[in-house]
Structure 1
Amino acid sequence: MFRSLWQYRHFIMSSIRGDLKGRFVRSRLGGLWFILHPLAQAVIFSIVLSEVLKARLPDTDSPAAYPIYLLSGMAAWTLFSEILMRSMTVFIEQAPVMKKIAFPRLCLPVIVGGTALINHLLLLIALFIIFIFLGHIPGRALVLLPIGIILIAAIGFGLGVILGVMNVFIRDVAQIMMIVLQLWYWLTPIVYPANVLPEEYSFILRLNPITPIVALYQDALLFNKWPSPEGLIMPAVLGFVSMAFAMIFFRRASPELVDVL
């Protein structure tokens, strides 16, 4: 499978370019919408929570701390949710192409992941510009962001491929996951600090594999702190296991995908 992906690398790259261009055909702002959508959501949260509800981060008096904290967590979550949701529906969306053109079917989630990574890099550039206007410049811990990006991409891609194949056979999977993702979002310390949860519910955050990755983003972009290596073990193991299982599961199910579609 990996050999075939390499042989079709030019197809993957051209498809990523076509996906980026095609999503906003005849749009005046074009690719800026990739950045504006998550930024608008984060800004709304920042205004409502920090200004209206007077939400503040503990142990800091900076008025810009909470918006930066929120934007950092939103950036990590946006990458994860985009890879997962689009990988989960890509086989159904591209069913006409799969029936007419012969190519490795695994190219489709790879194209989705490549598009999501480019969107994420553009979003990070926009965030850095916003941070500068807020008077905040990230420190040396910024170099750890690629680790978070790799872990998010591995977990999102692995789970996305598994659920994407299941969604071809059972269309309820995508609908259920939309609800699960909403719950998952609020069980991840993005809008609120992790230490505000009561002690009896703190185990939820410890079981959530996205929590340490979101914390990595927040520590790197806001607090300039290096994460604990022990905290990244669970996301790394989940990313590796989900990727491996996704490859096995996809290989066994791929001969039947086109027939079912």
Structure 2
Amino acid sequence: MNFKKVILIVLGLILLFLTFNMFTVYQRENSVLVFQFEVKSDLLDDYQLFYSTKEDEEWSEENSIHQTYDKPGIWQTIKYVVPKNIYSIRTDLGNHEAIIGVKNVRLIGTSNVDVSLGDAINLKNQLEIIEQQDNNLTIKALDKDPFLTLDIKSLLDTAINSSDITSKVKAALLSLLTTLVCLYIVNSTKDICKYMREIYRGRSIIFNLARNDFKTKYASSYLGIVWGFIQPLLTIVTYWFVFQVGLRSGNVSDVPFILWFIVAIIPWFFFSEALTGATNVYSEYSYLVKKVVFKIELLPVVKIVSALFVHLFFIIFIFAMYIGYGYYPDFYNVQLIYYLLCTIALAFSVSLLTSTFVLFFKDLNQIIIIVLQIGFWFTPIGWPPTMLSNSWVKIFKLNPMFYIVEGYRDTFIRNVPFIDHPYYTIYFWLFCVTAFVIGVNSFKKLKPHFADVI
């Protein structure tokens, strides 16, 4: 066994240990706490849950959640997503006299904890026990304001901090996958450095070609490069009219809808334009691809820089719009540079793959167009992520543009630094680097055949 393999094995074991602990902590920190029970009543009613975060805290409407029992005579599961620091719970069992059955009371966090009704429950106002068997309780509501309380503070540590076997297996599989990806990246370090060195050496060529590409794109039209700005502006106005005028969308995150919207759609314009252009760059510049002396690995970057010229104008447009509405630049706007680099990195890494494979699989170009059309609606550009449940948000976050769009909003609206999202930041950059490495390796293997298929 050579020295390189020994280093990779040791590094792999270290990464496996670190990533397993990272995913375990992530599961614990990002899990939600759910209080649920099954209920059966003879009346349809509204069940309201109040929660307190400290001892002797008064119940308030601010700390309450409503759920509807709408299946009279049938057992129905009632679920409430509650904060992790709750001290006790009060459940209002409707607003009518009724016979109510309650069973299977649980706290669900990283593990499930059954709540013993006999030990934790305290019957309060206008309630009378009719029958109690193990964890099944039948009670009678005597008036219009029946409620009970549960002291569950002692159960929280078990529900939040312990992990069931499923969580551990999931963490182990994710850590193994992450470790293998990291080792693949490390093993390709030499090719990565060589590719990036060529990009750096050809930076002046890239800029000159990008400037020429930007000018010639609209050279045959009367308005010239103005069309590069008119189309995105008209698209923004159209979506603004549909969402705010047609669908009557109000302010979002306490800012006018148009401000909330433009900081999301403008980075999407840049990514979409850069990816589409870079994907077809080898066909467009086929005369350069067939030249042996030209470094064709520079060409995808040319299209990205060309698209960047328009994007820089729209970044100024964003600041102008915000100032016009009375929102002036602040310190948090500096991290716009970071999210701009993120967008460039994502477009560059993905386009390395698409530009290589589209030469051998022509249908990929149409697939990318469809994916971008669907991706627009699967990215929170015209809708807020708060519309989704926590489980759906986790799925939608697999889309790396989710990170960028929300990052632009963190920069201009929420004033949240990107380091407040450490796990998602790691995922985003791991996605970009992995796509980049696969793209570099694919380009290296298929480059000799480019001239044959163009």
TM-score where L is the length of structure 2: 0.53
> Letter of the aligned partner of 1:31 in structure 2?
I
Match in the other structure for 2:307: 116
- Deviation of 1:51 after TM superposition, in Å, equals 2.0
Cα deviation code 1:183-205 (max 9, x no counterpart): 11111100001111245533332
Instruction: Report the counterpart of residue 23 of structure 1 in structure 2.
Output: 217
- Choose between structure 1 and 2: higher strand proportion: 2
Aligned partner letter, 2:196 = F
Give 1:26 shift. Answer: 5.3
Cα pair distance change 1:136/1:47, threshold 3 Å: farther
CA distance in 1, matches of 2:223, 2:413: 29
Q: In the alignment, which of 421, 425, 429 is matched to residue 229 of structure 1?
A: 421
In the superposition, the TM-score normalised over structure 1's length comes to 0.90
CA–CA distance in structure 2, aligned partners of residues 207 and 27 of structure 1:
40
Select 1:92's aligned residue among 277, 283, 307. 283
* Cα deviation 1:220-255 (Å, max 9, x = unaligned): 122333242323221111112212221121111111
Aligned residue among 238, 241, 245 for 2:431:
238
CA distance in 2, matches of 1:224, 1:9: 34
1:71-110 to 2 correspondences below 5 Å: 71-100=262-291, 102-110=293-301
Aligned to 1:190: 381
Aligned residues: 258
Looking at structure 1, the residues matched to 312 and 335 of structure 2 have their Cα atoms a distance apart, in angstroms, of 14
Q: Deviations over 1:59-103 (max 9, x none)?
A: 52x4xx211111000111112112211111111122233225731
> When you count helix as a share of all residues, which structure comes out higher?
1
Find the counterpart in structure 2 of residue 39 from structure 1.
233
Gaps in structure 1 of 5+ consecutive residues: none
Amino acid at match of 2:347: G
By relative contact order (CA 8 Å, sep 6+), the higher-ranking structure is 1
CA contact (8 A) 1:35 1:126 kept: no
Structure 2 letter corresponding to 1:159: V
* Residues 1:176 and 2:364 are matched in the alignment: no
Residue equivalent to 1:154 = 345
The structural deviation recorded for 1:118 is 2.1
* Aligned mates of 2:389, 2:253 — CA distance in 1: 18
Match of 1:163 in 2: 354
Cα RMSD of the aligned pairs, angstroms, is 2.0
For the residues of structure 2 that align with 1:147 and 1:96, how far apart are their CA atoms? 35
Counterpart mapping for 1:193-212 below 5 A:
193-199=384-390, 201-212=392-403
* Counterparts in 2 of 1:58 and 1:18: CA distance versus 1, 3 Å: closer
Larger Rg: 2
Distance 2:298 2:384 in 1: 38
1:141 paired with 2:335, answer: no
Check the 8 A contact 1:205/1:211 in 2, yes or no.
yes
Match in the other structure for 1:54: 248
